[in-house]
Amino acid sequence: MNHSRWNILPPAPREFLDQAPCPSALLAQLLYNRGLRDAVQIELFLKGDQRLAADPLLLPDMEKTISRLYRALLSGEKIAVYGDFDVDGVTSTALMVQGLTALGGIVMPYIPHRITEGHGLRMAALEELRNQGINLIVTVDCGITDVEEARYADKLGMTLIITDHHTVPAVLPPAFSIVNPKLPGSKYPFTELAGVGVAYKVLQALMNSLGKADQMEAQMDLVAIGTVADMVPLVSENRYLVKHGIKTLNAIPRLGLKEIAAKAGLSSGNLDAESITWCLSPWLNASGRLEHAIASYRLLTTQSQQEARELASMLGQQNLERQRLTAKAMTEARVQIAAQGLAPLIMLVNRDFPLGIAGPVAGKLTEEYNRPVIIVNLDEKTASGSSRSIPQFNIINALNQCSGLLGRFGGHAQAAGFSMPAKNINLLKNALIELATTQLKEVDLRPYVNIDAEVSLSELTPEIYQMIQSLSPFGKGNPVPTFVSRGVRVVGCRTMGADAQHLRLKLTQKGTNYEAVAFKLGDEAKGMSESLDIVYNLELDRWSGVENLRLNIQSFSPSSPLDK
C-beta pairs of 186-190 under 8 Å, 24+ apart in sequence: 186/58, 186/59, 186/60, 187/58, 187/60, 188/54, 188/58, 188/59, 188/60, 189/54, 189/58, 190/54, 190/236, 190/237, 190/238
What whole-number distance in Å separates Cα of residue 19 and Cα of residue 40?
12
Quote the DSSP letter at residue 48: -
Instruction: Judge if 231 and 151 occupy the same domain.
Output: yes
SS3 label, residue 482: coil
Instruction: Judge if 92 and 129 occupy the same domain.
Output: yes
Contact by Cβ (8 Å): 105, 127: no
pLDDT of residue 520: 87
What whole-number distance in Å separates Cα of residue 207 and Cα of residue 100?
9
SS3 label, residue 173: coil
Question: Which CATH number characterizes residue 76's domain?
Answer: 3.90.1640.30
Q: How far is CA 57 from the centre of its chain?
A: 26
Instruction: Judge if 545 and 468 occupy the same domain.
Output: yes
pLDDT of residue 544: 66
* Final residue of a structural domain among 439, 472, 491: 439
Question: Which CATH number characterizes residue 428's domain?
Answer: 3.10.310.30
Contact by Cβ (8 Å): 471, 481: yes
At 364-384, the pLDDT tens digits run 999 999 999 999 998 888 999
At 207-241, the pLDDT tens digits run 999 999 888 899 999 999 999 999 999 999 999 99
The one-letter code for the residue type at 428 is L
- Residue-by-residue DSSP string for 420-446: EEGGGHHHHHHHHHHHHHHHTTTS--S
Contact by Cβ (8 Å): 12, 34: no
Classify residue 530 by burial, with Cβ atoms within 10 Å: 0-12, 13-18, 19+: exposed
* 36-50, 266-280, 450-464: segment of lowest average pLDDT: 266-280
What whole-number distance in Å separates Cα of residue 169 and Cα of residue 148?
13
Instruction: Judge if 68 and 199 occupy the same domain.
Output: yes
Measuring CA to CA, which residue among 242, 172, 168, 202 is closest to residue 59? 202
> How confident is the model over 433-440, as a mean pLDDT?
96
> How confident is the model over 269-279, as a mean pLDDT?
92
Between helices 236-251 and 220-229, what is the axis angle to 10°?
120
pLDDT of residue 2: 46
Contact by Cβ (8 Å): 561, 543: no
At 34-63, the pLDDT tens digits run 999 999 999 999 999 999 999 999 999 999
Quote the DSSP letter at residue 169: P
Q: Cβ of 441: how many Cβ atoms within 10 Å?
A: 8
Locate all alpha helices (DSSP H) within 459-550, ordered by sequence: 462-469
User: Distances in Å between the alpha carbon of 311 and those of 258, 276, 295?
Assistant: 12, 18, 7
pLDDT of residue 563: 57
Instruction: Judge if 395 and 513 occupy the same domain.
Output: no
Contact by Cβ (8 Å): 520, 554: no
Distance, first Cα to last Cα, the chain: 16
pLDDT of residue 1: 45
Instruction: Judge if 516 and 467 occupy the same domain.
Output: yes
| Greatest Cα-to-Cα distance within the chain, rounded to the nearest angstrom | 79
Q: Cβ of 11: how many Cβ atoms within 10 Å?
A: 14
Instruction: Give the confidence band of 562 by pLDDT, cuts at 50, 70, 90.
Output: low
Instruction: Judge if 40 and 60 occupy the same domain.
Output: no
pLDDT of residue 538: 97
Between CA 237 and CA 537, with CA 280 as vertex, the angle to 5 degrees is 70
What whole-number distance in Å separates Cα of residue 501 and Cα of residue 521?
6
Contact by Cβ (8 Å): 367, 393: no
Within-domain flag for 283: no
Instruction: Judge if 95 and 226 occupy the same domain.
Output: yes
Q: SS3 for 120-187, per residue? A: CCCHHHHHHHHHCCCCEEEEECCCCCCHHHHHHHHHCCCEEEEECCCCCCCCCCCCCEEECCCCCCCC
Within-domain flag for 376: yes
At 68-101, the pLDDT tens digits run 999 999 999 999 999 999 999 999 999 999 999 9
At 522-553, the pLDDT tens digits run 888 888 899 999 999 999 887 766 789 999 99
Q: What percent of the chain shows pLDDT beyond 70?
A: 98
* Final residue of a structural domain among 252, 270, 305: 252
Contact by Cβ (8 Å): 467, 393: no
pLDDT at 274 over 90: yes
Instruction: Judge if 247 and 371 occupy the same domain.
Output: no
Within-domain flag for 281: no
What whole-number distance in Å separates Cα of residue 521 and Cα of residue 555?
9
Strand 373-378 versus strand 531-543 pairing type: unpaired
Total domains in the chain come to 3
Within-domain flag for 408: yes
- Please, what is the average pLDDT of the chain? 94
Instruction: Judge if 428 and 465 occupy the same domain.
Output: no
pLDDT of residue 280: 96
> How confident is the model over 290-305, as a mean pLDDT?
95
* Final residue of a structural domain among 439, 464, 482: 439
What whole-number distance in Å separates Cα of residue 486 and Cα of residue 532?
6
pLDDT of residue 564: 52
What whole-number distance in Å separates Cα of residue 431 and Cα of residue 78?
46
Within-domain flag for 412: yes
Strand 5-8 versus strand 136-140 pairing type: unpaired
What whole-number distance in Å separates Cα of residue 285 and Cα of residue 33?
32
Tell me: cis bond preceding 174? Omega within 30 of 0 counts.
no
Sign of CA dihedral 418, 412, 167, 78: positive
Measuring CA to CA, which residue among 277, 243, 299 is closest to residue 363? 277
- Name the residue range of residue 387's domain: 342-439
Whole-model pTM? 0.93
Question: Which CATH number characterizes residue 476's domain?
Answer: 2.40.50.460
Strand 483-496 versus strand 502-509 pairing type: antiparallel
What whole-number distance in Å separates Cα of residue 205 and Cα of residue 207?
6
pLDDT at 3 over 80: no
Q: Cβ of 494: how many Cβ atoms within 10 Å?
A: 12
Instruction: Judge if 239 and 209 occupy the same domain.
Output: yes
Within-domain flag for 95: yes
What whole-number distance in Å separates Cα of residue 141 and Cα of residue 120?
9
pLDDT of residue 77: 97
pLDDT at 465 over 90: yes
What whole-number distance in Å separates Cα of residue 547 and Cα of residue 392?
40
At 177-198, the pLDDT tens digits run 999 999 999 999 999 999 999 9
Within-domain flag for 238: yes
What whole-number distance in Å separates Cα of residue 208 and Cα of residue 226?
22
Contact by Cβ (8 Å): 522, 497: yes
Within-domain flag for 161: yes
- Residue-by-residue DSSP string for 302-351: ---HHHHHHHHHHHHHHHHHHHHHHHHHHHHHHHHHHHH---SSEEEEES
Helices and strands counted in the chain (H then E) = 19, 18
User: Distances in Å between the alpha carbon of 122 and those of 50, 117, 155, 171, 420?
Assistant: 37, 7, 14, 18, 16
The one-letter code for the residue type at 278 is W
Instruction: Judge if 466 and 434 occupy the same domain.
Output: no
